[in-house]
């Protein structure tokens, strides 16, 4: 379940490209969040990384006082709330593609704290991945997607998942998930 040799190089190239390409969008989203409610545009939270090392994840803030904001709703639908995580990729705490980054509370709730689940934390978590793209299907499905990704990870699969993530950014999660669910069995990503 080890990463392919060029994975870190791909992460750095994609992160550098994303920082340049998305800079105007990041600035616009930051202003929109601030203009809506005057609060900080960023949300930070501790997550469990590779080898179970904690790190602080950064996302665009999508809630205020326990309610999803108008800007936040749009960010969630498009997945653009994840853009600040490129900072985590640059630092080596995350990868562009990998298992979903979990909180310690998630790990405990799912019962994944024991050594039987160490495989799940053998790689850095990702901004995108099978679990992120196919979310909402339960813990068993997430575990299956994470194991499958870690077993089959490679440049081709990562590029496919990144392309699907861009489709989510443009079309929204629901449309892409419906398309994936309806795709012919022979056309699956993995």
Strand partners, 57: 45
Instruction: Quote the mean pLDDT of the chain.
Output: 90
CB-based contacts of 99, cutoff 8 Å, min separation 6:
120, 123, 125, 126, 129, 131, 146, 149, 150
pLDDT at 79 over 60: yes
pLDDT per residue over 114-136, tens digit each? 999 999 999 999 999 988 887 66
| Band (180; pLDDT cuts 50, 70, 90) | confident
Q: Which residue has the higher pLDDT, 45 or 133?
A: 45
| Band (185; pLDDT cuts 50, 70, 90) | very low
Q: What percentage of the chain reaches a pLDDT higher than 90?
A: 72
Q: How much is the pLDDT for 139?
A: 83
CB 30 within 8 A of CB 41: yes
pLDDT at 138 over 90: no
pTM of the model: 0.87
Q: How much is the pLDDT for 170?
A: 84
Q: How much is the pLDDT for 189?
A: 58
Query: Whole-angstrom Cα distance, residue 57 to residue 178?
Result: 28
Domain residue extents for the chain: 7-176
Q: Which residue has the higher pLDDT, 181 or 156?
A: 156
Mean pLDDT for the stretch of residues 66-84: 93
Q: How would you classify the pairing of strands 54-60 and 42-48?
A: antiparallel
| Band (140; pLDDT cuts 50, 70, 90) | confident
């Amino acid at each position: 379940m080890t990463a392919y040799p060029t994975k870190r190089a791909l992460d750095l190239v994609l992160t550098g490209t994303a920082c340049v390409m998305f800079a105007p969008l990041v600035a616009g989203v930051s202003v929109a969040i601030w203009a809506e409610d005057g609060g900080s545009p960023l949300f930070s939270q501790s997550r469990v990384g590779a080898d179970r090392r904690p790190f602080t994840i950064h996302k665009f803030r999508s809630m205020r006082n326990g309610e999803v904001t108008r800007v936040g709703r749009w960010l969630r639908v498009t997945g653009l709330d994840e853009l600040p995580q490129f900072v985590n990729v640059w630092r080596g705490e995350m990868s562009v593609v990998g298992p979903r980054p979990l909180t310690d509370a998630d790990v405990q709730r799912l019962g994944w704290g024991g050594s039987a689940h160490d495989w799940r934390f053998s790689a850095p978590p990702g901004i995108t991945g099978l679990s992120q793209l196919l979310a909402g299907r339960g813990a068993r499905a997430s575990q299956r997607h994470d194991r499958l990704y870690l077993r089959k990870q490679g440049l081709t699969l990562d590029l496919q998942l990144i392309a699907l993530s861009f489709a989510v950014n443009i079309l929204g999660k629901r449309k892409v998930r419906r398309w994936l669910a309806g795709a012919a069995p022979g056309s699956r990503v993995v």
